[in-house]
């Protein structure tokens, strides 16, 4: 029998829609990052970009280590719960602290 992951997945079409939505959402992220960096520090955009890439790689490594520890301790569902909580807190932080400037 074919096991579905995550167990709450309902259909192949739903899975495909979620993957497509993720791809569309993530496709805009590198463009937004580059635009933000060039506007924030136009004279040092290359240096800032390098530091940003280093920060992203550090975050990926930290997330992988924490996710692996959670998986070993409590199974895969704890990884999804923890990542959902982290995403919620990150969104809350962004909404409450980032102020946009009028064009």
Answer yes or no: pTM beyond 0.95: no
pLDDT in tens, 24-52: 888 888 888 889 899 999 999 889 989 98
C-alpha 4/C-alpha 57 separation (Å) is 30
3-class DSSP string for 45-87: HHHHHHHHHHHHHHHHHHHHHHHHHHHHHHCHHHHHHHHHHHH
| Biggest alpha carbon–alpha carbon distance for the chain | 58
In this prediction, residue 103 carries a pLDDT of 65
Residue 92: pLDDT band (50, 70, 90) is: very high
């Amino acid at each position: 029998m074919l096991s579905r992951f995550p167990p709450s997945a309902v259909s192949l079409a739903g899975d495909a829609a979620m993957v497509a939505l993720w791809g569309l959402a993530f496709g805009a992220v590198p463009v937004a990052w580059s635009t933000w960096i060039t506007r924030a520090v136009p004279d040092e955009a290359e240096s800032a970009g390098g530091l940003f890439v280093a920060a992203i790689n550090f975050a990926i490594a930290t997330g992988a280590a924490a996710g692996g520890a959670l998986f070993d301790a409590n199974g895969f569902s704890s990884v999804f719960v923890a990542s959902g909580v982290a995403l919620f807190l990150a969104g809350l932080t962004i909404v409450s602290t980032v102020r946009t400037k009028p064009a």
